[in-house]
Amino acid sequence: MTAEVNDVAIRAQGLSKSFGAVQAVRAAEFTVSRGEIFGLVGPDGAGKTTIMRMLAGVLRPDAGGILVDGVDVGAEAERAKLRLSYMPQRFGLYEDLTVAENIFFYGELFSVPRKERLARSTELLDAAGMSPFRRRLAGQLSGGMKQKLGLVCALIHTPQVLLLDEPTTGVDPVSRRDFWAILYNLRESGVTILLSTAYMDEAERCSRLALLHGGQIRYCDTPARLKQAMPGALFAIASPTPRALRTAVAGQPGVLGVLLMGDRVHVRVDDPARRLPELRDLLAGLGVPDGAILATEPGIEDVFVALLGQEAPT
């Protein structure tokens, strides 16, 4: 990294954590620049939550160092906490408090001046479409609204770094759209966002991604470059019986991977010029029309599977 220290929002070096015999995170290293939306992607148990917790200063790493907004989290966790906001995977607000009371509570914990808190909560609640629900108990909100409230509380003190652990899991599409609109606005104002996600379309929206597997960061780059790094080329085959087709294609020579995507099958091959005719022959034999096979750009899920050799977490 050649970036100036000032431009670095998060830097993790040699981060490791074990729980008993299980190595949850192994020597993780990454750097997030100011104003980035950085995504952690990986299957369950890959170590996403453990990394998040160590960055948030609530879990002590066995080894390695973390710098958040210039503050060493290992040495000065409490000072770092003033600059970051962490939203755990499980809803962490008080369900027996109202929306407004939760916001007040977190505002006070960060000593946000009263005027600023009022102005900011109005602005954030409006952006989240939640203004009519100020007096509702948090426990009576829908899943999407709970997550948005979590975000409002996390943002009440205007943090420099935002850590979101699977913030949109179980959230309806409309709320997810609202949620991302807020995240983009935040990035505009220079806030650094690190999030983990199980949704591939969300991974695609990140400026950079870290692909995690077995507690290790296997790849870390922009979505575009990760796609380029994917070996081989991709064809999409439409079929009324995609499962049968997947089985038929899987064993063919030159086929590196087959992935079921709804009513289509994504086939990754080593040499497209040579393999396309072979695939056409095979499809003809199966009675699949000629126009069903098309060259396609890889999605992040294809990249994920290709690079990690494993099914995506969705």
Partner 1 sequence: MNARRLFALAYKETLQIWRDPRSLAIALLMPLMQMAMLGYGVSLDIKHVPLCVYDQENSQQSRALVDRFVSSGWFSISRTLGRQAAIRDAMDRGECIAALVIPVDFSRQLATTGSASVQAIFDATDVNTTNIALGYAEGAVAQANAQIAAQWAAAHGIKPSLVGQVDLRPSTWFNETLDSRNFIIPGVVAVILALVGAQLTSLTISREWERGTMEQLISTPVTALEVMLGKLIPYFVIGLVDAGFCLVSAVYWFGVPFRGGIGTLFTTTALFIIVVLGIGYLISVRIRSQLGASQIALLVTMLPTTLLSGYTFPIDQMPAPIQALTLVVYPRYYVTILRAIFLKGSGLTDLWVPLLGLTVYAVAIIWLAARAFRKRLD
Query: Which residues contribute to the site for partner 1 (CB under 8 A)?
Result: 53, 56-60, 77-78, 81-82, 84-88, 90-97, 101, 104-106, 108-111
Of 145 and 306, which CB lies nearer to partner 1 in the complex structure? 145
Q: How far is the CB of 106 from partner 1 (least distance, A)?
A: 7
> In sequence order, what are the residues at sequence separation of 6 or more whose Cβ sits closer than 8 angstroms to the Cβ of residue 247?
none
Q: How far is the CB of 60 from partner 1 (least distance, A)?
A: 6
**Coil/strand/helix, residue 17:** strand
Q: How far is the CB of 260 from partner 1 (least distance, A)?
A: 35
Work out the angle between the directed axes of helices 99-109 and 143-155 (0-180°, nearest 10).
Answer: 30
**Tokens 């609640």, located at residue:** 125
118 burial level (CB within 10 Å; 0-12, 13-18, 19+): middle
Of 90 and 115, which CB lies nearer to partner 1 in the complex structure? 90
Q: How far is the CB of 136 from partner 1 (least distance, A)?
A: 13
Of 73 and 226, which CB lies nearer to partner 1 in the complex structure? 73
The residues with which 17 forms a beta bridge, in sequence order, are 25
Residue of 280, 243, 287, 250 lying closest to 264 (CA atoms): 243
Of 80 and 226, which CB lies nearer to partner 1 in the complex structure? 80
Q: How far is the CB of 203 from partner 1 (least distance, A)?
A: 24
Of 4 and 96, which CB lies nearer to partner 1 in the complex structure? 96
d(CA 144, CA 162): 18
- Gyration radius of the chain's alpha carbons: 22
